[in-house]
Structure formats: C-alpha cells, structure tokens
Structure 1
C-alpha cells in the first residue's frame, strides 16, 4: 500500500501548491494552515470550513502526520522526557522543562548524530536519519503541555545545522503569522559550529544562536569534538563577527565542564581571549555522566569559581541548573536505553 503524504509540516507556499493541484480555491491553503497550526486540528475531518468534497480529496492523498509520544518519564523536579517513534523503529527525545517564569521544550532535529562528540550519548547511536520539519514541530504540538510552552530550544538529539533545510522550514512554521506565530526571540538553536549552514541560519532566521564550545584550545577541542578538525572554534567566532546581531538577538556559548580537563585558569584566559569584544553570554553546564565514558563532571564549587573568573573578565556567565537527572536527562540516554531494551527482547 502506497504511503500517503503528510500535511503537518508543510509551509503555506507548499499548501498553496497542494490546493492548486487539487483544484481547490486558493484561500483553502490559508484555511488548512490555520487548522494545522493555530486551531490544532487532530484530523482532516475537523477542518469544518472546507467542503466535504475537499476534505475527502485531502484524506485520500494525505495523512495529518501527527505522532503521539510512545513513552513519558517525569522527574522529581517536574522535568518530563518524551520519547517519539521515528524512522525504522528508532526514537527521538523531547524534554519539557518547567520553571516559574517559563516552560521550555528541548527538541531533537535528527535521529542519532554523525558528529561523534566524546561526551554525547546520541553520538554513540551514530547517524540514522534526518527529521522532517513536521517531525520536529510534532514534538512541540504533541506533548501534553503544548499550550503552556513559552520557549523552544533546538538542543536535543542531532546537530541542527546538519539538517538545515528542515530546521529552517520548522522555524518558518513556528514563527510565521500563518503558523504558530511565535516570536523568534522565544527560540534558541544550537550548533557545534557547522559554519556554512550556520551562516544560512543567521541570514534566514531571527532565532537566537547557541554555540557549543567546551574548550577554547584547538587540540583539546579536537579530542572532545571532531568537528574542530573541519571548522575550528576560531572560524566559528570569526564568522559571528561578520554579522550585526542587533540588541535583541542573543548569541550564547554552551560550556560543559569536565573535571581536570577544561576547568582551569588557563581556560578562563583562553575563553576571554577568544571572545574578546563579542557581545555574548556563557552558560556553564554540569556534565551528565554517560555509560562507558572516561569523563567526569567538574565539582559545583569549581564551577562557581570558574563562573566568577569569567564574570571578572567582563563575560556574562551563568551556571545552568541541572534538571531531570533521575530520568536519563542527557540527550540520547533514554532513546539508547529503549533501543538496547528492544534489541535484547529481539534476541530471545
């Protein structure tokens, strides 16, 4: 049986092509977008301002494309991790992080990842497939707290800039008037520094940008992040200096702290030199241990000292509060655990 196309995740321009091909009035595209992204219809049949004939035509060719989560875990601190089925019996994760003044969802952009960072569980799965724009936004649409969300961060499984077409398309749907109509200032997209795609993102989106740094030193960063052999952190920062981000758009640097590796006075000096004159902020992150890793997290007291030293250098630095440690909060832990369990069951 031939698989139907999916409606959810199409842009307004794509919907205009659909209605034209089906001989429907041009304004039907806006109506469909309205049902998909504003009224949050669960089925084509719910699109009541389309004629019965139009709904029947759409249903014949399309599925809605909404996928419920297959597993949910709730942390003692209120963080929730959702597991969504993806291609070929694989999974992606989305983490809901509630705070007093905001409700954030951390979404995935790929199934697995090809970047191979030493500290990342997702990288141990290897790259499996790209997520479509619809599959990315499905994470926003399909969690129980969808209507409560104030912020979305693309910091889950995968490297967003390695799936730039679908990521940009998902951002267009989230921020357009015909879509979810979110302000791009409510969205933060991370990258380890895929420079050409990062340029496209800066030029074609207004969302905030987060750079995974983790070390200011070339050889050390190569050991932690193989991307350094292709696009160095120096190249990434020089690229950022080419653009005027304005006062409203934020650049931040993510810095996971590893005990005895990247938490010394020399690193404070290296970071300060690297970021000199760049308007940005630094987020220090506690390392969530992953199986079979030689890395250990820097003690909290030393993280506080490191933060104070960077602030003294004029770099706005904060320590990100750890959330959901009791529910496999580190990216890729829950999906890897589920995959392993599945494989074990198939072995018997």
Structure 2
C-alpha cells in the first residue's frame, strides 16, 4: 500500500489527521512546523514528537518530497528543472534570477486542456492535476530554494483549472504556520476561467496575471479557445467588480506575434479594453515552439507598441526573453523527455 504524503496538507487537514490517529491536537501545529519551516525530509527527524507517535505516522504516511530528475542551465543563469510526478509524468519549473529577484515559475498541471495555439504544454493534452504538495515540491526541492524571493504560477497548466489544489498551496505559502510568505511575493496567472478566477480573487490576496495576447475577440478565439466560453470583456467586467487596493496588483501578459497582434491598432484596442483598471501590461517576446506558424515580434515593434500604451498612462514593461537555449518555454523540456522515453520503449 502506497503511503500518503504529509507535505502539501493544510493545517486544517493536519488537525483532522491527528484527531483520526488519536494524537493530542497540538501535534498538528508541530507537524506543520516541521514540514514547512524546518523542511524535514523524513518523519523520524521530528524530534519533539514521541517515537511512539512517529512510528504510527510512519506506518501510513511519508513526507512525500521528490527530487528533481534533471536540470538545464542557460547562459543567462535561468535554470529549467524537470520533475517526475508519482504517476511517472513530467512537469517543469523555471528558476529565473535577476539582480533584484530570484523567481521560480511553477507548474500546476501535467499538460493542459486549454489548447492555446502558441503553447507547447497544450500540445501535450491534459494528463492530470497536481496536488498542492506536488506544486510546492517544485519550490522546496530545487537547489536555490532558500534564495527564492518570488513565485509565479505560470508554468505548465492553467492554475484556475486546478483551483482547489492551487488555493491550498497558496494557503500553505502565505499562512503563518506555513512558509509565511507575503502574498505580494506570489503571482498567479489565468487565461480567463471566470468562476475559478472569482474564487481566487475572494479567497487569496496574491497578485493576478491575465494572459490576454490580443484585445480582439475573433482573433483571441483563434489563439485561445477559452474566448468561446469566457469572452475577455467578461473577465474585465469581473475584475472591475473588485477593489484590489494599493498593494495587490493586476497585470496583463501579452505575448507579441509578428504580424498577428503587434500593430498600433492592437495597442489602441488594448487601451480601450483595460481602461479604468489599475493594472500594468507585460509585453513578452515569443519563445518559438515546434509546428507553429507564429513568430516573435521584433524589438522595435515591441517598443512602438509600448510607447502607445504608455502615452495613455498604462504602465508597460517589455519582459526580457530568458533561457531560450535550454527549452525554457513551458512544455518544451517535458515534451522532449516524453518523446525520448517513447522512442526507448519502441526498442
């Protein structure tokens, strides 16, 4: 019988666990302390819990952490970590250092249902949701774990399509009994899954990033099928219902494709769409992926687009392209690994 992982359980879940085992209630907080602050790798290291109770825990549970399988390092310092899930699937996490920040981009699903034209993860198809423990395992199992300053949920998968486990992971990251991070250090992205996005806004204080990529409905339907279900105007209307306050940030992610969404007219339509929202726009250079007609916009085109937005008072940045030499775009490394394993099975 496979043991159940303790890592990834919320305090409430740990309280239910110790009650079921007949332990004193205070052991739940002790467990949380060892899991998320001491970051132990085995139950027997929890030396303020009696040996008798540790033995009982060991019968049914383990910590549940998993080391990375492979890591690639870019000339620019970016690292791409590859992890096995317990079901032998692959997920990726990207470590992105800069002068002021050490950011980790984590995955929330194996594969993705959303089918965006420009995304390699979508080409894998959906395979499974990650548990809160599997999401957070990416954070604690990399070599730079203790150096991290920021976390972004912008890796493989659509976070709002796995909202229960994503919210659990965010609770553990930000709770006093967990990692005790400020929610301002965490940014969660979505392409616009409206009901789950509402839950996220109401149940978490972390930053929100909307993957937009074009302000035009028909064009967005071609790039992102979610537009057929939840039009971008609906997403904007929902955002306007909430007061995000001074500290919590909304940003719009805008990958720029040559001759597709990078004209001055697109910039003007984007201004109209997000007018009235306190937000910023991140313009992103497209990482090429196999079997797509899309190409990245030139830097001068991106600068011109940025100029149009800034003239209308919209804070706009051009995000540096990182890690192109190590398959840093989401899904490329895991797809390559899956293809290699399939080849090996054929012989």
5+ residue gaps, structure 2, are: none
Spell out, residue by residue over 1:212-270, the C-alpha distance to the aligned partner (whole angstroms, 9 max, x if none).
00000010000000000000111100000000000100000000000000001110111
Q: Does 1:108 align with 2:116?
A: no
Number of aligned positions between the proteins? 347
Contact 2:268 / 2:308 at 8 angstroms: preserved in 1? Answer: no
Q: Which residue of 2 aligns with 1:177?
A: 176
Compute the RMSD of aligned alpha carbons: 0.6
Q: Does 1:317 align with 2:316?
A: yes
Q: Which residue of 2 aligns with 1:291?
A: 290
Q: Which residue of 2 aligns with 1:204?
A: 203
Q: How far apart, CA to CA, are the structure 2 residues paired with 1:347 and 1:309?
A: 53
SS in 2 for 1:283: strand
Q: How far apart, CA to CA, are the structure 2 residues paired with 1:241 and 1:185?
A: 20
Q: Does 1:302 align with 2:307?
A: no
Contact 1:214 / 1:256 at 8 angstroms: preserved in 2? Answer: yes
Q: Which residue of 2 aligns with 1:247?
A: 246
Q: How far apart, CA to CA, are the structure 2 residues paired with 1:83 and 1:113?
A: 17
For residues 121-160 of structure 1, the aligned pairs below 5 Å read 121-160=120-159
SS in 2 for 1:89: coil
Spell out, residue by residue over 1:131-164, the C-alpha distance to the aligned partner (whole angstroms, 9 max, x if none).
0000000000101100000000000000000000
- Return the offset for 1:309: 1.1
Spell out, residue by residue over 1:173-199, the C-alpha distance to the aligned partner (whole angstroms, 9 max, x if none).
000000000000000000000000000
SS in 2 for 1:127: coil
SS in 1 for 2:146: helix
Spell out, residue by residue over 1:259-297, the C-alpha distance to the aligned partner (whole angstroms, 9 max, x if none).
000001110111010011110000000000000110000
5+ residue gaps, structure 1, are: none
SS in 2 for 1:290: coil
Q: How far apart, CA to CA, are the structure 2 residues paired with 1:283 and 1:80?
A: 22
How does the TM-score come out when normalised to structure 2?
A: 0.99
Contact 1:87 / 1:129 at 8 angstroms: preserved in 2? Answer: no
Q: How far apart, CA to CA, are the structure 2 residues paired with 1:8 and 1:87?
A: 14
How does the TM-score come out when normalised to structure 1?
A: 0.99
Q: Which residue of 2 aligns with 1:329?
A: 328
Contact 1:110 / 1:158 at 8 angstroms: preserved in 2? Answer: yes
Spell out, residue by residue over 1:104-131, the C-alpha distance to the aligned partner (whole angstroms, 9 max, x if none).
0000000000000000000000000000
Spell out, residue by residue over 1:73-116, the C-alpha distance to the aligned partner (whole angstroms, 9 max, x if none).
01111111000102532100000011111100000000000000
Contact 1:107 / 1:136 at 8 angstroms: preserved in 2? Answer: yes
